[in-house]
Chain A
Amino acid sequence: MEVDRADGRNPNQLRPLACSCSILHRAHGSASWSQGDTKVLAAVYGPKAGTKKNENPEKASIEVIWKPRTGQIGKPEKEYEIILKRTLQSICILTINPNTTTSVIIQVVHDDGALLPCAINAACAALVDAGIPMKHLAVAICCCSAESGYCILDPTKLEEQKMKAFAYLVFPNSILSVLPEGSSLVQGEPMEHGIITSVTHGAMSVDDYFHCLERGRAASAKLSDFLRRSLQSKLPGDLSKAG
């Protein structure tokens, strides 16, 4: 039941990842994230004061502006904006800066499949770069399910169209804590196995979904490590500059 992938990857293999932070000068935080040919640029402005319509006296609000590569934004982009906004709201600590707005601007540079997961990863790195307080990081991944219940990770655009169904999954990054209870189990599962966001397209059996979930969790550990490493590599440099 092997599915041959056009680029010769094995089913669990991700495309090469790249992440660079602080690439825009005017933004408070920015990051570019690429998975193979899919590349997304994220910029964060804020927390800033302002009398926007979504202002909340008890919580900070987050707005997401999605810029497609070409043309106007349509329904799919509007949906991406809402999913991204809700996902970021659930990982940020909103009570620290009440009555402020943080803008996250997502610019799609190239779309070659798994666009929303790529944007979530980029936004997450940009929020860290801007120093927005967060509960934990999040990593997003796309899993495809074929007719035979076969599952592949991080599909290209062509694979996405060919496959029966696919799921975008977002998991929390494992928390490294000095406290022993920091990495506690919730309902008998480690905390990083909980789903923050799940969006599926196409019909699949329930078992296939859980299969995707399992593969996604395994791969998200690798993604978590990569995200953590690329954020850490920039920290010592900053500290030496400050000192």
Chain B
Amino acid sequence: MGLPNASEDLSSEMEVDAFRRLFPLRYFERHLAESIRPDARSLSRARNTTISMGAVASADGSALAKIGSTTMLAAIKMEVMTPSLESPDEGCVSIDFHMPPICSPLVRPGRPAEAAPVVAKQLSDTISSSGMINLKELSLVGGKAAWMVYLDIYCLDADGALFDAALLSAVAAFSNLQIPTVSLDDGKIVMLPEEQKEENSEKEPVNKEKRKLTLGGIPFSLTCILHKNYILADPTSEEESIMETLVTVVLDSSNQLVSLYKPGGAVLAYTSAVQDCIALTRQRVKELHQILEEAISGMEID
């Protein structure tokens, strides 16, 4: 028991920075006892969140989402494909999540980040089980042609709560999506380039009025850290590395539970803690919904 006692004594005579580096857990616990975090947030408060739509001009839909300094860039590219035999009247969504070495000192060039495939899998699970996208809407000609949606998310800065930011950017990119116009040419689907939309009248676009996807229940998520009896919402990467028990709750706009993800961790989640996390997520869903609405209406004015 030498170490904790030693740090107790040292904390009064040591510089704050040194104390933070030597005893990170103690440093955080001192703050938590005062119901505050080192970055001056209260325990249940998420960081500032911003969304900017249409960040990539060449993509069919794109968005840049920032939660604190965690930054995600999501871009959607659509292609026409022949639907599979099992689901002839459905399109397909393929999600990829990239963590290039610039995003974090933990990611080394040449070695893919361990977290990347996991976040990608979580994202595609969440988006498919929330029923946000009706795959039937992505059909162009039943059995012949349907849209293949490629959603790529790039993590530009990984400062904790990666999944939350990735999901937010994905949702924003889908609400920004403009489906390109296509026409039938001898039974083949041809993309119509933007500029000749007016003049070529003999090639009638097949999806003239359907340029937007109708999004069903939109999922929003919040990651919390459980540490002793404290619940910390929206952790930074420093907090994630020190206190390792993470719970990610995903709720959709009708308050259905889309996912409750807790991969291990030293702290056990009891019913009350789970209920608290869900309650925090409910508040956060409202916040995020408003931020998304504002970002969308901001786009329409431009």
Residues of A within 8 A of B (CB): 75-76, 78-79, 82-83, 85-90, 165, 167, 170, 172, 186-189, 191, 193-206, 208-210, 213
Can you identify 16 A-B contacts, CB atoms within 8 angstroms? A75-B120, A78-B117, A78-B121, A82-B263, A90-B245, A90-B265, A187-B229, A194-B268, A197-B263, A199-B263, A200-B260, A203-B129, A205-B255, A209-B260, A210-B271, A210-B274
Q: Which label, helix, strand, loop or mixed, suits the secondary structure of the B interface?
A: mixed
A197 to B264 CA separation, bound complex (whole angstroms): 5
Q: List chain A residues, Cβ under 8 A from B261.
A: 198-200
**Contact residue among A78, A83, A90, A205 (Cβ-Cβ distance under 8 Å from B266):** A90
Q: A75-B120, A203-B131, A213-B271 are in contact. List 8 more A-B contacts (CB 8 A).
A: A170-B264, A193-B271, A195-B274, A198-B247, A198-B260, A198-B261, A205-B257, A208-B257
A201 to B273 CA separation, bound complex (whole angstroms): 21
A204 to B259 CA separation, bound complex (whole angstroms): 9
Kindly state whether residue B177 has any CB partner on chain A within 8 Å: no
Q: List chain A residues, Cβ under 8 A from B130.
A: 203
Q: List chain A residues, Cβ under 8 A from B255.
A: 205-206
If A90-B265, A209-B257 touch, whether A165 touches B129 (CB-CB below 8 Å) is yes
Q: List chain A residues, Cβ under 8 A from B120.
A: 75
Q: Write the B226-261 contact mask toward A (1 if CB under 8 angstroms, else 0).
A: 000100000000000000010100001001111111
Instruction: List the count of A-B residue pairs having beta carbons below 8 Å apart.
Output: 101
Question: CB distance B262 to A195 under 8 Å?
Answer: yes
A195 to B245 CA separation, bound complex (whole angstroms): 11
Question: CB distance B264 to A196 under 8 Å?
Answer: yes
A11 to B129 CA separation, bound complex (whole angstroms): 23
Q: List chain B residues, Cβ under 8 A from A88.
A: 264
A204 to B115 CA separation, bound complex (whole angstroms): 26
Q: List chain B residues, Cβ under 8 A from A89.
A: 264
**Contact residue among A78, A83, A167, A209 (Cβ-Cβ distance under 8 Å from B264):** A83
Which residue of chain A has its CB nearest to the CB of B282? Answer: A206
Question: CB distance B129 to A201 under 8 Å?
Answer: yes
Question: CB distance B270 to A203 under 8 Å?
Answer: no
**Contact residue among A194, A199, A210 (Cβ-Cβ distance under 8 Å from B269):** A194
Which residue of chain B has its CB nearest to the CB of A205? Answer: B256
Q: List chain A residues, Cβ under 8 A from B138.
A: none
B175 to chain A, nearest CB (A): 19
Kindly state whether residue B272 has any CB partner on chain A within 8 Å: yes
Which residue of chain B has its CB nearest to the CB of A89? Answer: B264
Residue among B122, B129, B260, B261 with max Cβ neighbours from chain A (10 Å): B260
Residues of B within 8 A of A (CB): 114-115, 117-118, 120-122, 125, 129-131, 217, 229, 245, 247, 252, 255-266, 268-274, 278
B24 to chain A, nearest CB (A): 12
Which residue of chain A has its CB nearest to the CB of B273? Answer: A187
Residue among B131, B229, B271 with max Cβ neighbours from chain A (10 Å): B271
Q: List chain B residues, Cβ under 8 A from A199.
A: 261-263
Question: CB distance B118 to A82 under 8 Å?
Answer: yes
A191 to B264 CA separation, bound complex (whole angstroms): 15
Question: CB distance B265 to A86 under 8 Å?
Answer: yes
If A196-B265, A197-B263 touch, whether A187 touches B121 (CB-CB below 8 Å) is no
Which residue of chain B has its CB nearest to the CB of A208? Answer: B257
If A75-B121, A194-B270 touch, whether A204 touches B264 (CB-CB below 8 Å) is no
A221 to chain B, nearest CB (A): 16
Q: List chain B residues, Cβ under 8 A from A165.
A: 129
A174 to chain B, nearest CB (A): 13
Q: List chain A residues, Cβ under 8 A from B115.
A: 82
Q: List chain A residues, Cβ under 8 A from B117.
A: 75, 78-79
A199 to B247 CA separation, bound complex (whole angstroms): 10
Which residue of chain B has its CB nearest to the CB of A82? Answer: B118
Question: CB distance B256 to A203 under 8 Å?
Answer: yes
Q: List chain A residues, Cβ under 8 A from B258.
A: 200, 203
A187 to B120 CA separation, bound complex (whole angstroms): 35
A53 to chain B, nearest CB (A): 8
Q: Which 5 residue pairs spanning A and B have beta carbons closest together?
A: A194-B268, A86-B264, A87-B264, A90-B264, A86-B263
Which residue of chain A has its CB nearest to the CB of B255? Answer: A206
B25 to chain A, nearest CB (A): 12
A172 to B267 CA separation, bound complex (whole angstroms): 11
B226 to chain A, nearest CB (A): 10
**Contact residue among B121, B129, B268, B274 (Cβ-Cβ distance under 8 Å from A196):** B268
B201 to chain A, nearest CB (A): 45
